[in-house]
């Protein structure tokens, strides 16, 4: 929602009053990850229409949709609209509402956007194995879905926290990259940070291709789940306890259900090609084999994809 200062667009926007002001009435300048910018006053219809006109020009060139980045409440502190101090969270909500007119959208920061048809990427994660990186993906996706944001993305594969990613440039952990892709494979959106063919060797790239083949295998089902989400508000990525209540799985946060049919359990530990998976009571299909579970933990190997997928029967 920002405009580069000292540009043609800025001069037009400031002349027409489409920008937020500072306390003295001048243009409000926000500092964000990409430098310093002035902020569009999305609380007014003329300013929204003006920004919409800019994006429609791009759509006319063939652009399908937009990543609506920024809009964090912290970037609106100290801003004014019409002589009154803005409420930062409300400005973030105006930014989220702006994207509703674009069927293909992506957001990272929003307020009171639960239930809206917006794709919400998780906040930027570190290129790491711990709770600021890989280990946070499934718990955060689960929380995201249950709070009304079913069209989720597990951040960028490899980690989207750009300063951390830059710090690790040239020495990225390829195994971490592959296991992040395994987590993302059967979520609503998979989005890559670095191009896989630029950082992986031939064998590792085959793993990514195998993961994407799994996604293609279940693409029709995934689309059915997302249509259900749009109709009912139910999460796509679901807690095990959500789908199987009162079976003691409320603390199980390293595997999930995609809709009501697929149990997805990525391998998350470094150096491992296998993991233990809790199988709820019932019949499940694993690589053509029918499993009869009484509610038990079994170990599965997935050296080709780092991804265990069981189909509920």
Give me the percent of the chain exceeding a pLDDT of 70: 100
Give me the percent of the chain exceeding a pLDDT of 90: 91
How large is the average pLDDT for residues 273-297? 96
Q: Are strands 282-286 and 307-312 parallel, antiparallel or unpaired?
A: antiparallel
Q: Is the pLDDT of residue 301 over 90?
A: yes
Q: Is the pLDDT of residue 19 over 80?
A: yes
Band (92; pLDDT cuts 50, 70, 90): very high
What pLDDT score was predicted for residue 288?
Answer: 92
Q: What pTM did the predictor assign?
A: 0.92
Domains of the chain: residue spans and CATH: 1-102 (no CATH), 239-312 (2.60.40.1180)
Kindly state the DSSP code that residue 236 receives in the 8-state scheme. S
Rounded to whole angstroms, the Cα distance separating 50 from 54 reads 7
Rounded to whole angstroms, the Cα distance separating 103 from 105 reads 6
Q: Are strands 152-157 and 120-121 parallel, antiparallel or unpaired?
A: parallel
Band (17; pLDDT cuts 50, 70, 90): very high
What pLDDT score was predicted for residue 32?
Answer: 87
DSSP bridge pairs for 279: 296
CA angle 159, 103, 136 (to 5 degrees): 25
Q: How far apart are the first and last CA of the chain?
A: 47
CA angle 13, 14, 20 (to 5 degrees): 95
Band (131; pLDDT cuts 50, 70, 90): very high
pLDDT tens digit sequence for 188-225: 999 998 899 999 999 999 999 999 999 999 999 999 99
Q: Assign 56 to helix, strand or coil.
A: helix
How large is the average pLDDT for residues 4-11? 93
What pLDDT score was predicted for residue 167?
Answer: 82
Q: Assign 44 to helix, strand or coil.
A: coil
How large is the average pLDDT for residues 302-311? 97
What pLDDT score was predicted for residue 110?
Answer: 87
Q: Is the pLDDT of residue 280 over 90?
A: yes
CB contact at 8 A, 96 and 83: no
pLDDT tens digit sequence for 50-64: 999 999 999 999 999
- How many CA atoms, within 13 angstroms, populate the side-chain half-sphere of residue 251? 1
How large is the average pLDDT for residues 171-183? 95
Q: Is the pLDDT of residue 165 over 90?
A: no
| 312 membership: H or E segment, kind and range | strand 307-312
Band (34; pLDDT cuts 50, 70, 90): confident
What pLDDT score was predicted for residue 309?
Answer: 98
Closest CA to 275 of 248, 306, 250, 237: 306
Rounded to whole angstroms, the Cα distance separating 4 from 257 reads 43
Higher pLDDT, 33 or 121: 121
**Cβ contacts of 248 within 8 Å, gap of 6 or more:** none
Supply φ then ψ for residue 121, to 5 degrees. -80, 140
Mean of the per-residue pLDDT values of the chain: 95
């Amino acid at each position: 929602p920002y405009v580069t200062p000292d540009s043609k667009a800025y001069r037009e926007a400031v002349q027409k009053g489409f920008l937020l002001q500072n306390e003295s009435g001048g243009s409000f300048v926000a500092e964000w990850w990409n430098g310093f910018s002035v902020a569009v006053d999305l609380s007014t219809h003329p300013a929204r229409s003006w920004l919409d006109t800019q994006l429609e020009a791009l759509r006319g060139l063939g652009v399908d949709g937009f990543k609506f980045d920024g809009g964090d409440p912290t970037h609106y502190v100290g801003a004014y609209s019409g002589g009154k101090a803005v409420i930062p969270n409300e400005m973030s909500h105006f930014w989220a509402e702006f994207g509703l007119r674009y069927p293909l959208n992506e957001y990272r920061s929003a307020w009171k956007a639960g239930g809206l048809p917006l794709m919400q990427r998780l906040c930027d994660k570190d290129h790491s194995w711990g709770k600021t990186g890989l280990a946070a993906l499934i718990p955060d996706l689960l929380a995201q879905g249950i709070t009304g944001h079913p069209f989720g993305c597990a951040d960028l594969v490899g980690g989207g926290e750009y300063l951390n990613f830059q710090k690790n440039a040239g020495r990225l952990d390829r195994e971490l990259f592959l296991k992040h892709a395994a987590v993302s494979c059967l979520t609503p959106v998979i989005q890559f940070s670095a191009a896989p063919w630029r950082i992986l060797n031939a064998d590792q790239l085959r793993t990514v291709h195998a993961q994407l083949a799994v996604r293609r295998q279940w693409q029709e089902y995934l689309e059915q789940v997302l249509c259900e989400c749009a109709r009912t508000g139910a999460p796509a990525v679901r807690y095990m306890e959500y789908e199987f209540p009162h079976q003691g799985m409320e603390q199980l946060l390293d595997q999930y259900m995609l809709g009501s049919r697929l149990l997805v359990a990525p391998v998350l530990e470094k150096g491992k090609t296998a993991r233990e998976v809790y199988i709820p009571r019932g019949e499940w299909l694993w690589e053509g084999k029918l499993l009869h579970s009484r509610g038990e933990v079994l170990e599965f190997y997935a050296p080709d994809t780092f991804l265990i997928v069981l189909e509920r029967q």
